[in-house]
Amino acid sequence: MNLLAKKISEHRKIKGLTQEELAEQAKVNLRTIQRIENSESEPRTQTLQLICDVLEVNVEDILSRDHQRYHKRIGTKIINYFFLIVINMILMGIFGYLTLDSNANPNSVFAAFLLSFLIHFFIVIFTKKMNGFERLLKFGSGYLVYFIIVILSFGFPKGFVSGLFPCLLIGLAILNFGHYFFKSKF
């Protein structure tokens, strides 16, 4: 339940009104009140004004508090982006170490392929609400940079033969299309 829905529900209960009574007094459809309180929809300005008039609540107070609660502070955004960059660098380091390292053997390359499936499937599972392109930008943007760095440093053949590029492509494909595997509910 979002903050606006919670506040409308609380004020309605404080006034001792049922949803039906609020709908009747505000001249709003009962289903509209139910959808608002269940966070299924946001009320239009006119509807919110009618509800607030019945509840004797100031519209600006409800909206300003709701607005403040859901807008993250700049510090929080910076920390989130910092950790996304760190996650991308860690993933790039793991795959580079397992494939490009001079001590890389078939077992470590196999581990890189296995991890390229598993890590990205877990990312898809934990970010179900993101679409594939958003997930690709957040968790796979470092792969494109890494791809370019490896081509410039070692050349395309070394990146492909070592298994790094196939691992990166598998990871990117799962990030973008992985939600198709989880269409049904768990």
Return the CATH number at 49. Answer: 1.10.260.40
Examine the domain organization and report whether 143 and 178 are in the same domain. yes
Flag whether pLDDT at 152 surpasses 90. yes
pLDDT at 178: 84
The arithmetic mean of pLDDT across residues 35-64, rounded, is 86
Examine the domain organization and report whether 58 and 144 are in the same domain. no
Examine the domain organization and report whether 61 and 105 are in the same domain. no
Examine the domain organization and report whether 8 and 61 are in the same domain. yes
pLDDT at 64: 65
Examine the domain organization and report whether 47 and 111 are in the same domain. no
Give alpha helix (H) positions in 102-182.
106-126, 132-153, 156-161, 164-177
Under a CB-based contact definition with an 8 Å cutoff, are residues 96 and 164 in contact?
Answer: yes
Examine the domain organization and report whether 58 and 101 are in the same domain. no
Examine the domain organization and report whether 90 and 30 are in the same domain. no
Flag whether pLDDT at 65 surpasses 60. no
Counting the structural domains of the chain, the total is 2
Q: Quick one: which of 83, 92, 64 has its CA closest to 100? A: 92
pLDDT at 118: 92
The arithmetic mean of pLDDT across residues 109-131, rounded, is 89
Last residue of a domain, one of 29, 50, 70: 70
Last residue of a domain, one of 39, 54, 70: 70
pLDDT at 113: 92
Flag whether pLDDT at 57 surpasses 90. no
* Burial tier of 133 (Cβ tally within 10 Å: 0-12, 13-18, 19+): exposed
Local confidence band at 73 (pLDDT 50, 70, 90 cut-offs): low
Examine the domain organization and report whether 143 and 84 are in the same domain. yes
Last residue of a domain, one of 37, 70, 103: 70
Examine the domain organization and report whether 83 and 154 are in the same domain. yes
Instruction: Supply the range of the domain harboring residue 136.
Output: 74-182
Flag whether pLDDT at 81 surpasses 80. yes
pLDDT at 141: 84
Examine the domain organization and report whether 43 and 115 are in the same domain. no
Examine the domain organization and report whether 63 and 87 are in the same domain. no
Q: Quick one: which of 95, 100, 105 has its CA closest to 167? A: 95
Examine the domain organization and report whether 50 and 112 are in the same domain. no
* Total residues belonging to the chain: 186
